[in-house]
């Protein structure tokens, strides 16, 4: 779905805004999350699973870092593991074709590659999650304990596909208390 499409302007956005403002404040992040997942799925429905798995990995990773924050080795291991998972997912989807073609060129084979569609906003949400997990590891913020709030922060549709990358420390208070 494109922001300038008639479906977005005259159907999706008005429905989201009405739903948001008629919903009690404690459930508004749920509306944001659901609307964002619908918006995301509109572009590539198959990749909804990828963003949900990525959110769960980073959410649980941040909680684990917090549990082991006084054990420098464990928290560092968890942080690096989550970081490698995030970067690996991004690398696979962005550079899979290039890596296979380069490898084939180096070894002198014409390797056939299957074209993989790039997931919508993968760079934005990956770097946003890396920023989040880094802030938790460096003790700049405490992990978000509410999975809905965290997922809403990552998937928020107005910035998911076009940015900017929003730092968790800049927005975490607004997730639970905004006017």
Residue 17 in domain: no
Residue 151 in domain: yes
Interacting residues of 137 by C-beta distance below 8 A, sequence separation 6+: 65, 75, 76, 79
Residue 110 in domain: yes
pLDDT tens digits, 111-131: 777 777 888 889 989 999 999
The total number of structural domains in the chain stands at 1
Distances (CA, A) of 143 to 54, 59, 75, 153, 163: 16, 8, 13, 12, 22
Check: pTM over 0.95? Answer yes or no: no
pLDDT band at 75 (very low <50, low <70, confident <90, very high): very high
Residue 30 in domain: no
Question: Which of 50-59, 66-75, 118-127, 157-166 shows the lowest mean pLDDT across its residues?
Answer: 157-166
Mean pLDDT of the chain: 89
pLDDT band at 160 (very low <50, low <70, confident <90, very high): low
Residue 127 in domain: yes
Residue 5 in domain: no
pLDDT tens digits, 8-52: 889 999 999 999 999 999 999 999 999 999 998 887 899 999 999
The per-residue pLDDT for 1 is 65
The per-residue pLDDT for 87 is 97
Residue 165 in domain: yes
Residue 10 in domain: no
Q: How far apart are CA 31 and CA 147, in angstroms?
A: 14
Range of the domain at 55: 46-176
């Amino acid at each position: 779905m494109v922001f300038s499409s008639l479906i977005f302007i005259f159907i999706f956005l008005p429905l989201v805004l009405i739903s948001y403002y008629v919903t009690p404040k404690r459930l508004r992040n749920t509306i944001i999350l659901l609307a964002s997942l619908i918006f995301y799925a509109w572009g590539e429905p198959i990749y909804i699973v990828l963003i949900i798995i990525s959110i769960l990995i980073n959410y649980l990773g941040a909680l684990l870092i917090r549990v082991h924050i006084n054990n420098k080795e464990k928290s560092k291991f968890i942080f690096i593991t989550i970081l490698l998972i995030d970067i690996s997912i991004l690398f696979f989807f962005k550079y899979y074709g290039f890596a296979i073609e380069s490898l084939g060129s180096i070894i002198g084979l014409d390797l056939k590659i299957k074209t993989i569609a790039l997931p919508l906003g993968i760079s934005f949400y990956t770097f946003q999650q890396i920023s989040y997990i880094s802030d938790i590891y460096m003790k700049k913020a405490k992990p978000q304990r509410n999975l809905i709030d965290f997922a809403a922060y990552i998937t928020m549709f107005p910035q998911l596909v076009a940015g900017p990358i929003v730092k968790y420390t800049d927005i975490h208070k607004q997730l639970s208390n905004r006017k």
